[in-house]
Structure 1
């Protein structure tokens, strides 16, 4: 990001001069129209972007800080221009631009100076793209509520003339089919008759900007066109906002500069994956393990099913993939510690058919209900506007710390330091003995909590599709995932002949119980590492201290059982106070961010989330091989939408690793594949820009990009090329698969 001056009415960079303006011809009084505006003067050859930037780019974003009584609306975007960049077509502006914003005065303003503050961010491009921005501040004098403010009236009037209008009698209709979108417009301005028109959808990645429509004029302002779908299309909108304008504006031409329309869409959209990133190439990579090529599917490719049959087929396919993903989830490393407890429980019940069947069914219910509850919470939060994905709870340092404490307790229990029955009231212990199914149910709940950092093969595609479905259908996908995860144990519990092969309970079980504490405590070490990455080394050290206090307190609690009642009460009260003080000291540490998060290396990964001062590899968009540490390891630039857009605008191929410290599969892939010397060398040889998107803590930009890729969790591995749909690799990588994907890249 190019730095900008703080608190000035104007900001200048080498490419853009920006200025905050106010236009209030009748003063700032309730009931009258006033305007704010951001003026951008572009250096010759440079441009910024419209609401829908086209094949690449980002729209300008404005964030206002206004005095009480003032409210800013949305940008009133002028009609954009088509900006061809090689094979791409973008929508944006060159020269001098004013972005007007309506200003509402909700109450009478005080007789004192007013300060209007703005944070603006824009992406400016020529042959390269540069994310820029600035903080603006404009102080209006006292009495501005009564006085007219028209210093920039001519500039605002020109901007108003460039707005698309609602033309009387103009209407639009659209029909979707397998070949594209048929657009029919009626009642267009008569002076446009016979001229070539440009169509700008307000929604990105629905129609292809770079494919010229097949258009024809009819009589009396009627115009029709066949529009190609975007290869990145994921949505199937029932209405489509459009701005229609002459492709070549004539000097001195009478208004309008453009016409704003909303087209109701009929017909059947082809399946979104026919032209989207989770479509042909991505599905090949995900479903078969092939790397796939980087040539995207042709726009408009679709199957022969109608929308209802297609939706049902998509649901069943996603449910099957989720079931298979649940089965494979049992083999993922994050689930091992809890599943070892489950196997131990099976061994204890192996020769009691009724207890075995009850345990298997209770475990299944716990798994399925937990997946459904997590999914319901996730869907509800997303519906309220939160940008979240699968594994969202592990983005909270407090949750990670709580899970680490729980695993510490379980490990100490398996080592024999205490028994849970000693720590709870006698009525609870007797209820637990009468209802052993509760133990199996809670094991299922725990298995889901610790499984959420993992994404098994087939899970990514199915959960990504689930996020686009109605809530009831999406919940069904998560239920299928839970059934898949629980199926092996349910089957074992219902097959006594199989369970009978397990050895009878005996002294060996105590040794196994002690051994099973090791993977649980190893998981605690991993969770401490995750917490250190999320909240810093102080938080990890604080939690470690709290764990030691917990172990000491539990030991002392157990020893106090042989003392008299008064000594027991005094000792346990003191221990409770010590633990409470430790927790109160640790909790604030969990709320902080680690220092210099952009320059923190992930321990043991071989690459970081950015480079510190003076380090190579910190420049987004630089080809691999042109920079890097002397050791020759691959530099990974931190991912951002701007950095990705800049690299693509330069015609570079980008490989993005969407990862998180709490994602065990991500860390395994780093060590087994991405850190391998032959893979790093192949990336350098191909000049691939490598970026890492760290989702360890919540990041809405990454969540949005994962949704655009048809995924809801990590790991995700994607190759990007300008003008083509991203190619997704499977969740579990191998060096051979990675090299195959790189081999398919154009020379």
Structure 2
């Protein structure tokens, strides 16, 4: 090996060791709470032709909240589908008085404690006394913390007994308590007036009524700006509210609203266009809980730090060869230009992935971070690309894709694109909260988080490009670079082999055959490119043909019906489902739930070095540990919901349930000692 190569190896090893030490220091993430417990309750028997109240009772766990019928700037209220006997019907749902919560620059209308949505159920007059009928409810709601939201749903049933016509109305003190939290309807209507961007409202309030710490909640969009400050004053029998008008507010339309008072009670009022009295004696409004911009700023810091550490996560190791050559080139030609071009490539890729992710979720798809590697077409494309890059690094052709010698930095830009595309599927320390929040925030704020992640991923190369003292640590360009390039073909070739296995795992033998045939044909075209280049002949035709063939193979893979082969598990794990996890936890035994994917290198490393080991197996068997395995290789909405409920945007995720206790999220880098210690209770 040329002597000049040794410094590069020494420095890269030192830098890698330092970054891995940082990773180990911050590998553990705290567990977040779960969801909102929900049940359907019937107040009691109901006489034929009568009405009984149903309660959809919800209990958010600590740090979580649910939403009012109008959630405000973010979130959504509950959607319900009822299954009722013929002739039975439900009326309009009644929500308790909400409370304001500010997250970032968003005003949310939420419930942070237990609450119930009350629904009237009417029974037909010809219902037979004494019979018991079953009703069903399918409900969808959103559970959120200040950082992450999880769409949840549940199916509930209840028995309703038809009583005699002369029986007493049902009485349940719990329902009285729930009704006490409903807003009291005002018989007299209120007024509102629009004055440009200002909305003035008058709510009728009886003389002498104690009005303290009020807050007005519009019942529908298009009336008031939720985040705009609200000022209150008292003028005789009117409570005057002044706030910002929504851009879509139209004078003449009636609007419903709820006025919350400081003691948690509220008034339901219908507002009609009319004259609003002048402001009177000021009243302090109800301060919203939550935080403003510092919350978003902190999330940006987390996203940036997660991007930096992502450079040394095991899932990123396969593309370090591309980065190493990019660094070597930076010494040789325009370090500033290459660093900026590489950063631009990373940013474009991360923002595109983020935009597609947000778009899919807005369309109702339950996808998470790394969704692109759950698709057969993506895997086939990556297989072809990895083999082409391996051939390029080995010197079989000189069309430097994606690390070309373009004087305009296009090679570094394409390197950044590929680096981000392959690196972002894994989640590292600090990323979970930031990526989870990105699924909750408005699109501009979410894209800002994705941009911070991309900037963190590219940051080490910006430092090398713009800080001469760091750049001087790299060895000087020389003949060693060609040797280094050939050596770097080895890890890239191993990546290609891993993608061969992943192609089989994603889609079985049919997809594997397609991937291998397409790859072989593309390589033949690239070999021909290299031959013509050495003879000084025109070679673009073969390159274009290779591109076209790769796109055709990708399209075919996207249209294929594929089935993944069965997975063997050393620990005898049960495949994850909500019911399986609930049953395991109810058994009174410790539970180890781990969520993995075949495309996640971090997952595979942990499984090989810590999970599927004889010592771990023996310790788990001795302690009676129940193992639950969630395979996220292909898209699975149930697993996606669980990941998000734990504050994780992707895999790996490891959760330990001690008997009778909530889950503890484990570090993303596991060891045999850590797992055996958990099993033994140390």
Per the shorter chain, which TM-score range? 0.5 to 0.7
1-structure distance, mates of 2:500, 2:116: 60
Does the C-alpha gap of structure 1 residues 726 and 257 become closer, same or farther in structure 2, counting only changes over 3 Å? farther
Aligned pair 1:320/2:291, yes or no? Answer: no
Number of the residue aligned with 1:371: 350
Distance in 1 (CA, whole Å) between partners of 2:633 and 2:379 is 11
Question: Taking structure 1 as reference, are residues 340 and 385 closer, same or farther at Cα in structure 2, changes over 3 Å only?
Answer: same
Structure 1 window deviating more from structure 2 (505-514 vs 580-589): it is 580-589
How far 1:321 sits from its partner (Å)?
2.3
Conserved 8 A contact 1:656-1:717: yes
Which range moved further: 505-514 or 730-739? Answer: 730-739
Asked if 1:600 is matched to 2:543, the reply is no
3-state DSSP of counterpart to 1:455:
coil
Contact 1:411 1:520 survives alignment (8 Å): yes
Q: 1:389 aligns with which of 368, 371, 376?
A: 368
Structure 2: distance between partners of 1:735 and 1:461: 27
In 1, the alpha carbon distance for the partners of 2:376 and 2:549 equals 19
The structural deviation recorded for 1:449 is: 0.6
| Counterpart selection for 2:476 from 504, 509, 512 | 504
User: What is the CA–CA distance in structure 2 between the aligned matches of 1:542 and 1:246, rounded to whole Å?
Assistant: 55
Residue pair 2:595, 2:632 contacting (<8 A) in 1 also:
yes
C-alpha spacing 1:650/1:489, structure 2 compared with 1 (3 Å): same
Matched, 1:490 2:471: no
Q: C-alpha separation between the residues in 2 aligned to 1:493 and 1:183?
A: 56
Alignment of 1:612-691 (within 5 A): 633-691=570-628
Kindly indicate whether residue 316 of structure 2 is the aligned counterpart of residue 335 of structure 1: yes
Question: Is 1:457 aligned to residue 429 of structure 2?
Answer: yes
Q: Distance in 2 between matches of 1:359 and 1:585?
A: 32
- Out of 410, 430, 436, the residue aligned to residue 389 of structure 2 is 410
- Corresponding residue for residue 419 of structure 1: 398
Corresponding position: 1:711 with 2:648:
yes
Asked if structure 2 preserves the Cα contact closer than 8 Å seen for 1:657 and 1:691, the reply is yes
C-alpha deviation, 1:324, in angstroms: 2.0
Distance in 1, Cα, partners of 2:119 & 2:518: 73
Q: Could you tell me which residue of structure 1 aligns to residue 671 of structure 2?
A: 734
**TM-aligned CA deviation for residue 350 of structure 1:** 1.5
Give secondary structure in 2 for the equivalent of 1:656. strand
- Is contact 2:609-2:672 (8 Å) kept? yes
**Does the 8 Å CA contact 2:374/2:634 hold for their aligned counterparts?**
yes
Please say if 1:548 is aligned against 2:520. yes
Question: Normalization by structure 2: what TM-score?
Answer: 0.60
Q: CA deviation at 1:514?
A: 0.7
Q: CA deviation at 1:587?
A: 5.7
Native 8 Å contact 1:322 1:458 kept in 2? yes
Alpha-carbon offset, residue 520 of structure 1: 1.1
Could you tell me how far apart the structure 2 residues matched to 1:455 and 1:54 are?
25
Q: What's the offset of the Cα at 1:645? A: 3.3
Query: Aligned equivalents of 1:384 and 1:203: distance in 2?
Result: 16
Paired position in structure 2 for 1:528 = 500
In the superposition, the TM-score normalised over structure 1's length comes to 0.55
Alpha-carbon distance change, 330 to 577 in structure 1, aligned in 2, over 3 angstroms: closer
SS at match of 1:350: helix
| Deviation by residue 1:274-318 (Cα, 9 ceiling, x = unmatched) | xxxxxxxxxxxxxxxxxxxxxxxxxxxxxxx97575353433333
Give the C-alpha shift of residue 510 in structure 1. 1.0
Aligned to 2:632: 695
How far apart are residue 368 of structure 1 and its match? 2.2
Shift of 1:546: 2.3
1:470 shift after superposition: 2.2
> Relative to structure 1, is the Cα distance of residues 78 and 312 closer, same or farther in structure 2, using a 3 angstrom cutoff?
same
* 8 Å CA contact retained: 1:176, 1:182: no
Three-state SS of the structure 1 residue aligned to 2:97 is strand
Q: Determine the C-alpha separation between the residues in 1 that align with 2:368 and 2:511.
A: 25
Task: Specify the alignment match of 1:181 in structure 2.
Answer: 113
Distance in 1, Cα, partners of 2:347 & 2:550: 35
For the residue of structure 2 that corresponds to 1:657, the secondary structure is strand
Unpaired stretches in structure 2, ≥5 consecutive residues? 1-34, 42-51, 58-80, 102-109, 122-136, 185-213, 217-285
1:363–1:440: 8 Å Cα contact kept in structure 2? Answer: yes
2:134 match: none
Matches of 1:323 and 1:181, distance apart in 2: 33
**Could you say what secondary structure the match of 1:696 adopts?**
coil
CA distance in 2, matches of 1:654, 1:493: 48
For the Cα contact (< 8 Å) 1:648–1:722, is it kept in 2? yes
Return the alpha-carbon distance in structure 1 between the equivalents of residues 677 and 654 of structure 2. 14
Q: Deviations over 1:32-55 (max 9, x none)?
A: xxxxxxxxxxxxxxxxxxxxx985
Residues 366 and 441 of structure 1 are in contact (CA less than 8 Å); yes or no, is this contact kept in structure 2?
A: yes
Structure 1 contact 661–696 (Cα < 8 Å) conserved: yes
Post-superposition Cα deviations, 1:581-619, rounded to whole Å, max 9, x if no partner, equal 898678646644555x4x612xxxxx44xxxxxxxxxxx
Stretch moving more, 505-514 or 256-265: 256-265
SS at match of 1:703: helix
Worse-matched range after superposition: 522-531 or 704-713: 704-713
* Counterpart-to-counterpart distance in 2, 1:585 and 1:721: 48
Distance 1:686 1:509, change over 3 A: same
Equivalent pairs, count: 484
* Deviation at residue 464 of structure 1 after TM alignment: 1.8
- Quote the Cα distance in structure 2 between the aligned partners of 1:729 and 1:327: 21
Match of 1:348 among 317, 320, 329: 329
Residues 350 and 654 from structure 1, CA distance in 2 versus in 1: closer, same or farther, beyond 3 angstroms?
same
Cα shift at 1:374: 1.2
**Relative to structure 1, is the Cα distance of residues 658 and 311 closer, same or farther in structure 2, using a 3 angstrom cutoff?**
farther
- Indicate conservation of the 8 Å contact 1:174/1:181, yes or no: no
Displacement of 1:401? 0.8
In structure 1, how many angstroms separate the alpha carbons of the residues matched to 2:554 and 2:368? 27
Q: Match of 1:690, SS?
A: strand
Gapped runs of 5+ residues in structure 1?
Answer: 1-52, 60-76, 83-98, 103-154, 190-199, 207-229, 269-304, 602-606, 609-632
Residues 702 and 251 from structure 1, CA distance in 2 versus in 1: closer, same or farther, beyond 3 angstroms? farther
Task: Output aligned runs, 1:31-180, within 5 Å.
Answer: 55=37, 79=54, 101=83, 156=86, 160=88, 165-166=91-92, 172-175=96-99
The 3 A distance-change label for structure 1 pair 722 and 521 is same
Match of 1:212 in 2: none
- Shift of the alpha carbon at 1:500? 2.3
Q: 1:546–1:586: 8 Å Cα contact kept in structure 2?
A: no
Assess, with a 3 A threshold, how the Cα gap between structure 1 residues 709 and 306 changes in structure 2: closer, same or farther. Answer: farther
Q: Equivalent residues in 2 for 1:299-310 (5 A)?
A: 310=291
The residue matched to 2:594 in structure 1 has which SS?
Answer: strand
- CA deviations over 1:664-704 (Å, ceiling 9, x no partner): 11111111211122322332233232121111111122112
- Does the CA-based 8 Å contact 2:92-2:119 persist in structure 1? no
Q: How far off its partner does 1:491 sit?
A: 0.9
Change over 3 Å in CA distance of 1:166–1:591 after alignment to 2: closer
Listed one character per residue, the Cα deviations across residues 120-151 of structure 1 (whole Å, up to 9, x for unaligned) are xxxxxxxxxxxxxxxxxxxxxxxxxxxxxxxx
Shift in alpha-carbon separation, 1:520–1:254, aligned structure 2, 3 A: farther
**Separation of aligned partners in 1, 2:40 and 2:575:** 18
- The 1:455/1:100 distance shift into structure 2, 3 A limit, reads closer
